[in-house]
């Protein structure tokens, strides 16, 4: 809490609703003076409070933004809680009383009828029903119960309100009644919840000769709640009215006391103060010109351990260190001066406040720069020593992580075998490599009964000295026992100062065991003893060797896995795009997350096409590991080659499907390779001129589309079979996308999980996309942040593309008649258009290119010829005709009249080619902009 000098102990500068400082007479007069001269009287003051301001304050009361409003809301909540509690208590009590009353009445009626004269004799008559049925019905109507049933000792009814049930078995528990007792039951019958009682009918000798059951529904004995509920609700309404009236009185009094100022006006003077003081994690002190402490925030109180009444006292009287108190009292400029205050090192910055005519004094900030020591985990609960080897088999090697496996070995050893255990490995082992000649180890794991042992910490490098037990164990391949470390001298050469600290700490015995698998040495394990007075013996050396031998196999397996995983990740990342190609049709962001369990075959790509179009592709290969990554590279290369042919998405997937089937056929006889069949792919082509996106997919999850208004949908894209199955064609879907739409492509690892259905994953993705920011990068970040923090079991490839449209003023089109004389008109129109685009430098080459392409179209194409020119990152010239014949580049002989046009086009343009359309073909050429 921050305390201000001159305020009461209950106040705080952090509270925005504190008292407003008194205004000067002039300011008070300015605030409450009448209307300006010449203005109409738009408000009337009463009791010194402007009516308009009082009306706004009343709205704050009702809305709960003022103190009175909050009191009103609290009173309403309390009244409502009391009413609800009273209603619940009333209902429960009435229900309980109804049940008790129903039981008493049913038992009384049953016993009265059972003990009535003639009942026992009627049971022994030839036709009991003829005698008892009229009596039972008369008694039922007289007592207002729902039924009276007389039965024999077998439970066969003699009477019943419904005659068709006479002679049938009674439903209920009659055993206690046969024994002479009374039975009551709460049941849900066909007429509703009811209570039935069964009593015996006894003969004169006390023998039970029959049973009588009477039942009544609880609804017939209720009704009290309906009588008391209006009274209760009336009391609630009165309470709410009193609360409203009390709040109005309190609000009116507060308005008079605060001169009509609302809560926001009263707290405005403190907002900047609170933001500065409490939004930083640094101590802030304000000291007056006479050296008295005017203000200290919470962090300053904590760092300096200031007393509660520090504000208002001189800084020299606060029991601070002399140098710190002197600095604060002097008011001099200080920058990052380090002062020790008890067990903390504080960096102090101080600046005076009277530099530009402000009040005398200074402002100081304090920052704690004390380094925090790392804390190691506690040792595991002790277990029996004879179970160690079994526990090592089960508990060591639970993961394929080298560091975690070493930690499991150290944790298993303490405290059941040693007081401290350390595992030191060569650096090459940690990265999955094979150690060669090395002179240093790295502390990988440390476990002990205490945390303050003077041993090397995790991550530190440890030099190998020939006389050290660890070095001798590595060179000999056998465990080394130093029973009494205080008497051993060779191990001290490694670190004389630290070894002295170890002895003084109480560690007195050591076993150093090399970690080896065959002839490969991975590192060393050291077991230290301190609390147990007996040193290690030879039997414990054998146990240590067996324990380390078992652990070495797990560590080597983890090392091998790390190497394979690193190789697979490296291969996979080398096959994925390292940077996106430059294009203006789509604003693209992407994320790729490899699986933690193993590298998969997820991939994606962005491919610029002719006519300023861009292709997006994302796919997934079945399986994990190097084979999946290599197969992914083959498919990605194939898509690159197929896209160069400017094929529609469905035809490209058909070729890819055929390629996958051929790959599986070639590798069918190879062992150990997973089939490629089942791989999925989605291929989309976006045209910024028409804003049309053509999509086809082969067994891949559907794309998501974020409209410019933020709404999300999954477009209907026909789902073709996975790649490699063959036999079925692929279909496309054409989507017209508004500019600014975001197309989201992803692999199944983002939405599929073993613990949930894919529809759940798609809904979670929809929710994340609806909350994402407008940019593709924000969208990627929002999707990945929304994922549950679980271990990823599959790769995730995510690509978000925001559409852009090519402006109309960057598109020029002409319809050309099939007449050679029209070529000159085309050249003239092109020249004029290039001048409007300030591309006069390209006029000559562009006219020449279009002349050749239009001439070929007139000579060899159909009657309909169309010319289009696009001004994008390059100048694109396109000639459309209805012919499906593709021109070919060739060398013309000296005597040939033609054959040189395409050669000129190829020489003058950066790229050129042909793509086919349903109406014919397009010959295009691109020129770089000057």
Residues 6+ apart with CB under 8 A from 88: none
Cβ proximity of 18 and 261 under 8 Å: no
Backbone angles phi, psi at 372, to 5 degrees: -95, 130
The residue with greater pLDDT, 435 or 266, is: 435
Cβ proximity of 798 and 591 under 8 Å: yes
Residues 525 and 654: their CA atoms lie apart, in Å, by: 58
Q: What is the mean pLDDT of residues 267-281?
A: 66
What tokens appear for 721 in the block? Answer: 């079979």
Per-residue model confidence as pLDDT tens digits over 52-108: 444 554 455 455 555 556 666 777 788 778 778 877 877 777 777 777 888 888 888
Per-residue model confidence as pLDDT tens digits over 92-146: 777 777 778 888 888 888 888 888 888 888 888 888 888 888 888 888 888 888 8
Q: What is the mean pLDDT of residues 634-638?
A: 87
Question: How does residue 854 score in pLDDT terms, banded at 50, 70 and 90?
Answer: confident
What domains sit in the chain, N to C, each tagged with a CATH number? 1-20+261-358 (3.30.450), 116-221 (3.30.450.20), 385-559 (3.30.450.40), 576-803 (3.60.40.10), 809-928 (3.30.565.10)
Task: Report the percent of the chain where pLDDT is more than 90.
Answer: 18
Residues 703 and 733: their CA atoms lie apart, in Å, by: 11
For 252-277, the DSSP string reads: HHHHHHTTT--HHHHHHHHHHHHHHH
Nearest to 795 by CA among 565, 577, 567, 600: 600
User: Which of these ranges, 240-254, 322-336, 725-739, 843-857, has the smallest mean pLDDT?
Assistant: 240-254
- Average pLDDT of every residue of the chain: 80
Residues 839 and 368: their CA atoms lie apart, in Å, by: 63
Residues 198 and 213: their CA atoms lie apart, in Å, by: 4
The answer on pLDDT for 836 being more than 90 is yes
Question: How does residue 712 score in pLDDT terms, banded at 50, 70 and 90?
Answer: very high
Cβ proximity of 136 and 150 under 8 Å: yes
At 381 the pLDDT is 31
What beta strand segments (E) does 218-308 contain? Answer: 283-288, 293-296
At 735 the pLDDT is 94
Nearest to 455 by CA among 491, 490, 489, 483: 491
3-state secondary structure of 134: helix
Residues 6+ apart with CB under 8 A from 366: 282, 283, 284, 285, 299, 300, 303, 304, 346, 347, 348
At 801 the pLDDT is 95
Q: What is the mean pLDDT of residues 220-235?
A: 68
For 502-560, the DSSP string reads: HHHHT--EEEEEEEEETTEEEEEEEEEE-SSSSPP-HHHHHHHHHHHHHHHHHHHHHHH
The answer on pLDDT for 220 being more than 80 is no
Per-residue model confidence as pLDDT tens digits over 282-318: 888 889 888 888 888 888 888 888 888 888 888 888 8
The answer on pLDDT for 15 being more than 70 is no
Q: In this structure, what DSSP letter does residue 825 have?
A: H
Residues 605 and 636: their CA atoms lie apart, in Å, by: 8
Q: What is the mean pLDDT of residues 690-697?
A: 95
Residues 6+ apart with CB under 8 A from 114: 199, 200, 201, 202, 210, 211, 212
Backbone angles phi, psi at 71, to 5 degrees: -65, -40
Q: What is the mean pLDDT of residues 221-246?
A: 72
Nearest to 528 by CA among 514, 544, 516, 546: 544
User: Which of these ranges, 40-49, 696-705, 718-727, has the smallest mean pLDDT?
Assistant: 40-49
Nearest to 426 by CA among 559, 570, 550: 559
Per-residue model confidence as pLDDT tens digits over 760-789: 889 999 999 999 989 999 999 999 988 876
Residues 766 and 746: their CA atoms lie apart, in Å, by: 13
Residues 176 and 180: their CA atoms lie apart, in Å, by: 7
3-state secondary structure of 720: strand
Question: How does residue 587 score in pLDDT terms, banded at 50, 70 and 90?
Answer: very high
Q: Could you tell me the maximum CA-CA distance found in the chain, to the nearest angstrom?
A: 143
């Amino acid at each position: 809490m921050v305390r201000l000098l001159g305020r009461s102990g209950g106040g705080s500068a952090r509270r925005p609703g504190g008292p407003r400082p008194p205004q000067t007479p002039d300011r008070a007069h300015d605030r409450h003076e009448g209307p300006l001269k010449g203005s109409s009287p738009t408000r009337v003051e009463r009791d010194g409070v402007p009516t308009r301001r009082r009306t706004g304050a009343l709205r704050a009361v009702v809305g709960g933004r003022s103190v009175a409003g909050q009191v009103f809301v609290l009173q309403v909540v309390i009244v409502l809680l009391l009413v609800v509690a009273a209603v619940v208590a009333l209902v429960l009590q009435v229900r309980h009383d109804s049940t008790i009353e129903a039981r008493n009445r049913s038992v009384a009626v049953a016993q009265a009828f059972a003990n009535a004269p003639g009942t026992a004799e009627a049971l022994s008559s030839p036709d009991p029903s003829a005698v008892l049925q009229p009596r039972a019905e008369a008694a039922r109507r007289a007592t207002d119960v729902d039924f009276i049933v007389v039965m024999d000792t077998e439970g066969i009814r003699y009477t019943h309100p419904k005659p068709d049930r006479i002679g049938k078995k009674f439903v209920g528990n009659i055993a206690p009644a046969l024994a002479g007792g009374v039975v009551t039951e709460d049941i849900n019958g066909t007429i509703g919840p009811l209570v039935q009682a069964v009593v015996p009918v006894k003969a004169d000798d006390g023998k039970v000769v029959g049973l009588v059951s009477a039942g009544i529904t609880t609804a017939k004995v209720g009704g009290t709640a309906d009588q008391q509920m209006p009274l209760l609700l009336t009391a609630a309404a009165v309470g709410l009215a009193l609360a409203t009236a009390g709040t109005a009185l309190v609000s009116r009094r507060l308005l008079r006391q605060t001169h009509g100022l609302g809560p926001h006006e009263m707290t405005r003077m403190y907002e900047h103060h609170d933001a500065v003081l409490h939004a930083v994690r640094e101590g802030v002190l304000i000291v007056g010109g006479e050296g008295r402490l005017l203000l200290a925030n919470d962090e300053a109180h904590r760092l300096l351990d200031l007393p509660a009444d520090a504000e208002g006292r001189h800084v020299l009287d606060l029991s601070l260190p002399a140098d710190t108190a002197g600095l604060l009292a002097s008011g001099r400029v200080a920058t990052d001066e380090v002062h020790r205050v008890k067990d903390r090192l504080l960096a102090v910055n101080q600046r005076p406040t009277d530099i530009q005519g402000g009040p005398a004094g200074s402002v100081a900030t304090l920052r704690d720069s004390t380094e925090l020591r790392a804390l190691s985990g506690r040792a595991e609960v002790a277990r029996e020593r004879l179970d160690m080897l079994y526990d090592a088999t089960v508990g060591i090697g639970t993961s394929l992580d080298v560091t975690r496996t070493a930690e499991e070995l150290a944790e298993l050893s303490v405290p059941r075998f040693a007081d401290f255990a350390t595992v030191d490995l060569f650096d090459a082992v940690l990265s999955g490599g094979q150690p060669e000649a090395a002179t240093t180890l790295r502390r990988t794991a440390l476990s002990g009964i205490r945390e303050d042992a003077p041993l090397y910490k995790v991550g530190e490098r440890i030099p190998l000295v020939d006389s050290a037990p660890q070095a001798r164990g590595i060179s000999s391949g056998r465990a080394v026992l130093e029973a009494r470390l205080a008497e051993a001298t060779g191990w001290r050469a490694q670190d004389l100062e630290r070894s002295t600290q170890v002895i003084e700490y109480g560690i007195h015995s050591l076993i150093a065991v090399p970690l080896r698998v065959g002839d490969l040495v991975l590192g060393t394990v050291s077991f230290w003893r301190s609390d147990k007075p007996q040193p290690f013996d030879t039997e414990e050396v054998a146990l240590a060797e067996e324990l380390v031998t078992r652990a070495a196999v797990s560590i080597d397996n983890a090392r091998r896995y790390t190497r394979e995983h690193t190789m697979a990740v490296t291969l996979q990342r080398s096959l994925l795009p390292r940077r996106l190609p430059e294009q203006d049709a789509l604003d693209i962001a992407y994320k790729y997350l490899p699986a933690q369990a193993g590298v998969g075959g997820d991939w994606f790509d962005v491919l610029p096409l002719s006519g300023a179009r861009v292709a997006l592709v994302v796919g997934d290969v079945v399986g994990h590991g190097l084979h999946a990554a290599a197969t992914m590279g083959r498919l990605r290369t194939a898509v690159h080659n197929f896209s160069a042919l400017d094929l529609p998405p469905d035809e490209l997937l058909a070729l890819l499907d055929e390629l996958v089937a051929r790959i599986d056929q070639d590798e069918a006889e190879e062992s150990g390779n997973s089939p490629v069949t089942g791989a999925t792919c989605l291929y989309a082509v976006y045209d910024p001129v028409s804003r049309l996106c053509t999509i086809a997919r082969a067994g891949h999850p559907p794309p998501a589309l974020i409209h410019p208004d933020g709404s999300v949908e999954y477009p209907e894209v026909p789902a073709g079979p996975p790649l490699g199955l063959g036999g079925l064609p692929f279909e496309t879907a054409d989507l017209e996308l508004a500019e600014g739409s975001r197309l989201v492509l992803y692999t199944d690892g983002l939405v599929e999980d073993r613990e949930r259905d894919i529809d759940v994953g798609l809904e979670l993705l929809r929710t994340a996309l609806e909350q994402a920011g407008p940019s593709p990068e924000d969208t990627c970040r929002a999707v990945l942040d929304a994922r549950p923090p679980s271990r990823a079991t599959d790769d995730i490839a995510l690509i978000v593309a925001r559409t852009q449209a090519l402006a109309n003023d960057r598109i020029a089109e002409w319809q050309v008649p099939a007449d050679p004389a029209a070529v000159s008109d085309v050249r003239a129109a092109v020249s004029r258009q290039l001048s409007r685009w300030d591309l006069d430098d390209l006029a000559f080459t562009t006219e020449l290119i279009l002349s050749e392409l239009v001439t070929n179209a007139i000579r060899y194409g159909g009657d309909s010829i169309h010319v289009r020119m696009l001004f994008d990152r390059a100048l694109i010239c396109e000639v459309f005709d209805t012919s499906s014949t593709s021109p070919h580049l060739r060398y013309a002989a000296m005597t040939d009249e033609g054959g040189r046009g395409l050669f000129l086009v190829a020489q003058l343009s950066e790229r050129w080619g042909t793509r086919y359309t349903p109406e014919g073909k397009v010959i295009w050429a691109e020129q770089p902009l000057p």
